[in-house]
Amino acid sequence: MLDNQLVQVFLPVINAQLTAYGYTGVTVIAANQPTQQGIPTGPTVYFHKLNDHRLGFLRRFDTWNELTSVMTHTEEQQYETTFQVNALVIQSPATPNQYTASDLVNDVCFIMQSDYTREILYNNQISILRVTDVTNGYFVDDKDNFEANPSFDFTLSYVRSKVSTGKVVSQAELDINRV
């Protein structure tokens, strides 16, 4: 499974569940895009990949197809990939009842641990291994105001595999010569 395939599984889940929880106008995007996208002006959830961790050793096995005389060689590796989620929600004293970036991140954290998400991941041969606590750092924004930057990490477990095929030797001639 490739990185973009992982994202194509969990991103629609986050979007759908945020809408189901009553969040409107929230953008969920990958941070650090390959092209300049500008900064969204509304509430935004960002995610980015932190790392990959290979587990154990490469598993190798072959399958023979008698009809086509082709040997299929498969190599599989168990992986754990960790993503980080954070959010930006501009706070204003004029809107004291608005949800915060921490509220938004905590709900995404809840979504990633929910039975609904676990079932969708499982149906795509992915497991959610762990979801960390939400941390709440701060930074100074472009208006010299402090903004919260809450975040958490989640780790997905899955198998990456590569398949190759080739003809198999079906006949050999033995020729022994004196040296």
Q: What is the pLDDT of residues 90-133, one digit of tens each?
A: 887 888 888 999 999 999 999 999 999 999 999 999 999 999 99
Render pLDDT for 7-33 as a digit per residue (tens, 0 to 9).
999 999 999 999 999 998 999 999 877
The rounded distance, in Å, linking the Cα atoms of 145 and 90 is 10
Using 50, 70 and 90 to split pLDDT, how confident is the model at 44?
Answer: very high
Using 50, 70 and 90 to split pLDDT, how confident is the model at 36?
Answer: low
Q: At what angle do helices 115-123 and 3-20 cross, to 10 degrees?
A: 150
3-state DSSP assignment of residue 121:
helix
Closest alpha carbon to 159 in 97, 75, 91, 94: 75
- For 30-55, what is the mean pLDDT? 85
Stretch (H or E) spanning 10: helix 3-20
Beta bridge partners of 161: 76
Residue 134 pLDDT more than 80? yes
The rounded distance, in Å, linking the Cα atoms of 26 and 14 is 11
Q: What percent of the chain has pLDDT over 70?
A: 94
The confidence score (pLDDT) of residue 77 equals: 96
Mean pLDDT of the chain: 90
- For 162-174, what is the mean pLDDT? 79
- For 165-171, what is the mean pLDDT? 73
Query: How would you label 34-72 residue by residue, b for 16+ Cβ within 10 Å and e otherwise?
Result: eeeeeeeeebbbbbeeeeeeeeeeeeeeeeeeeeeeeee
